[in-house]
Amino acid sequence: MIREIVEIGHPTLREMAQEVPVDEIPSKWVQELIDDLIETKRFANGAGLAAPQVAEPWRIFVAEVGNNPRYPYKPPIPLTVVINPQISFNTEDRMSVYEGCLSIPNLRGIVNRCPDVRVEGWDQNGDLVDKTVRGISAGTFQHEDDHLNGILYTDLVTDAKSLCTWGEFERR
């Protein structure tokens, strides 16, 4: 089911999401939430979507990029579901990237992200996730994980002068 994506100002976006009990991963409610996140992300042409963005306070996000009209410059990310993620940085390096968010429509801004991260957690089958993600895709995973901690990319913008609309971003 396609869910409503809540926007900046909605209280769930600023809350610390709750861990999903691992023994609940196969349950109907968790599986339906995951299916809804995937369907909603695809409908909205997002690169990722976290449960708080559909007003669900759980530590789950999905990421996927492939022929996405919103992100023609992003490399492919196969569908990845991460429950109770832990993200660690593999380097002290940082890169500046323009980010946007489905919960903050029509706005983009520059954020510093680690270009090499380790992502650990559980997938939708209850199997362990342990992967390294690099480049701007690493930023996508950090962005989604931030949602689980009540952080929006606008909190991390390095210079407010970098904020721009989608139209201006595409033009320049």
The catalytic position among 24, 144, 168, 170 is 144
CA 115/CA 33 separation, integer angstroms: 29
99 is catalytic: no
Alpha-carbon distances, residue 171 vs 43, 67, 153, 159, 166 (angstroms): 24, 20, 22, 20, 9
Contact between residue 146 and residue 152 where contact means Cβ atoms under 8 Å apart:
yes
Q: Are strands 95-101 and 77-89 parallel, antiparallel or unpaired?
A: unpaired
Contact between residue 110 and residue 172 where contact means Cβ atoms under 8 Å apart:
no
What amino acid positions are annotated as catalytic residues?
A: 144
